[in-house]
Chain A
Amino acid sequence: MILLKLDELIQGIIKGDRRSVSRAISIVENEQVSINAKKIIKEIFTHTGRAHIVGITGPPGIGKSTMIGNLAAMLSGSGRKVSVVAIDASSPFSGGSLLGNRIRMQESLTRHGVFMRSLANRGMKGGLSRSIWDTVKILDASGSDIIIVETVGAGQADLDVVNLAETIVMVLGPGLGDEIQAIKAGIMEIGSLFVINKMDLPGAFIAQKDIEETLAMSPKGEWKPPVVGVNSLTKEGYDDLIMEIDRHGKFVKKSSDIAFRKFRTELEITIDEELRNRFYKEIRAFLSDNEKIRILMEKRTDPYSAAENLINSIA
């Protein structure tokens, strides 16, 4: 790749240059909280906030990637600039990852020139990767109208997407369990809309009914999550799905509560990280000073006091 200076890179992002965008994502992914990574986000921040951020979540194998392939094709067909980020799991043993989401959407990506990036979660729990917040900002600043984020195949407690996306599409299907499963706490509470995929399979209508009944029992808020049945092979139901995503997008942009909550959560995460980063060097130095640690141990100092003393001495 040609020589790219950070300032050129930042200008490139704002102009929507793909090479700049993809290199910038690598920087925020590989060199998190580094000076370069922070500079990129600081400089592009005024250009963010325009895109509609849609999170697609649901259990593994339910058809999230295929659905995004269809959605991306239809949305960019209607003239919108679509970007896709898909997160897959890293191996806890090797740290490696097989990022396989792209294969389900390659065709529509190529035909419509959609920018798509695969990220590994690199050990982060909760369904996202730590760099996703910055990645979404880069895509936002590059002029995307809609950014689709696919979470790792989600379990009942993988809820982090609620802090990232404005609209959360919960993808479910037949055969996942009865209405008891549907009223459990956790992931069922965060959907802005629910999609039953694989409507061609037996049990799909029952699943749809179970979800609808569960939602009918939930407290009525301003937004009532709709349930949409789709068939990703024939693309049946996709027009409704897009209509509901757009409707929710308009609803969210009106609500300052959601924006406030998201901003506060992100601030909290960033402060945590900044703190840890700020004292990292001193803490590492302390921990590698075997002599000092041995003295603490021999004096039978309890770990709380030792930690308090260390922090007080550097803060």
Chain B
Amino acid sequence: MEAGKNQSLFKGKPIKILLAKPGIDGHDRGILVLAKAFRDAGMEVIYVGLLPTPEEVVDTAVNEDVDVIALSLLNGAHMTVFKKVADLMKGRNINDIAVVGGGTIPEGDKPKLEKMGISGNYGPGTPISKIVEHITERAAEMRKLKSMEE
């Protein structure tokens, strides 16, 4: 094995993912565990820290040209804040960055989030492998879109 060479499906072009907790929520243990898990799964992970605004999240995603934005909230504001991120993306015509969610999200909200294009929406107790798998799938979709552009 050659040092630094990506071993995953995305050979030499690791998945780039942005992790964010937009909104007033300081519970960051979960997202930090995921950050490390994604790193170990061969992804390039950017964590913007606590309390970024939805605008900051979208700006950062564009500047960093990530494949996936992963949002986490445990404070119940997901229907407001996740929606804001989805609206901003739509407003700027960005369709090749996937948005996935997670946190404490009631079952009833999940279809509504899905409808906004926010997939996953995993809660506590989800095996990390399942989350990694979902993100890899979404990233693969995005890469396909990007490659058609050129």
Contact = CB atoms under 8 A, between A and B. Distances in A.
A16 to B, nearest CB: 13
A68 to B, nearest CB: 15
Interface stretch (A92-100, A153-161, A168-176, A249-257): A92-100
Contact of B94 (A1, A99, A100, A123): A1
Contact of B47 (A3, A18, A98): A98
A116 B5 contact: no
Contacts of A4: 149-150
B135 to A, nearest CB: 12
Contacts of B42: 91, 94-96
A102 B65 contact: no
Contacts of A98: 35-36, 39, 45, 47
A106 B59 CA distance: 11
A214 interface: no
Nearest to B97: A1
Nearest to A110: B56
**A contact face: mostly helix, strand, loop, or mixed:** mixed
Contacts of B36: 98
B149 A1 contact: yes
Given A102-B48, A115-B63, A116-B63, A96 B14 contact: yes
Given A103-B49, A117-B63, A5 B150 contact: yes
A30 interface: yes
B63 A18 contact: yes
A121 interface: yes
Interface stretch (A20-28, A229-237, A275-283, A294-302): A20-28
B95 A123 contact: no
Given A1-B95, A2-B93, A123-B2, A94 B39 contact: yes
A90 B45 contact: no
B38 A103 contact: no
A118 B46 contact: yes
Contacts of A95: 4-8, 14, 42
B65 A23 contact: yes
B76 interface: no
A116 B63 CA distance: 7
A120 interface: yes
A6 B150 contact: yes
B19 to A, nearest CB: 10
Given A102-B46, A103-B49, A106-B49, A94 B150 contact: no
Interface string B6-49: 11100011100000000000000000000110111111111111
Given A1-B149, A6-B150, A22 B49 contact: no
Interface of B: 2-8, 12-14, 35-36, 38-49, 52-53, 56, 59-60, 62-65, 93-97, 146, 149-150
Given A1-B146, A118-B44, A118-B64, 13 more contacts: A1-B96, A22-B63, A25-B65, A91-B39, A91-B40, A92-B3, A95-B6, A96-B43, A97-B44, A97-B45, A99-B44, A102-B60, A106-B56
7 contacts: A91-B4, A92-B3, A102-B46, A106-B49, A120-B44, A123-B3, A123-B5
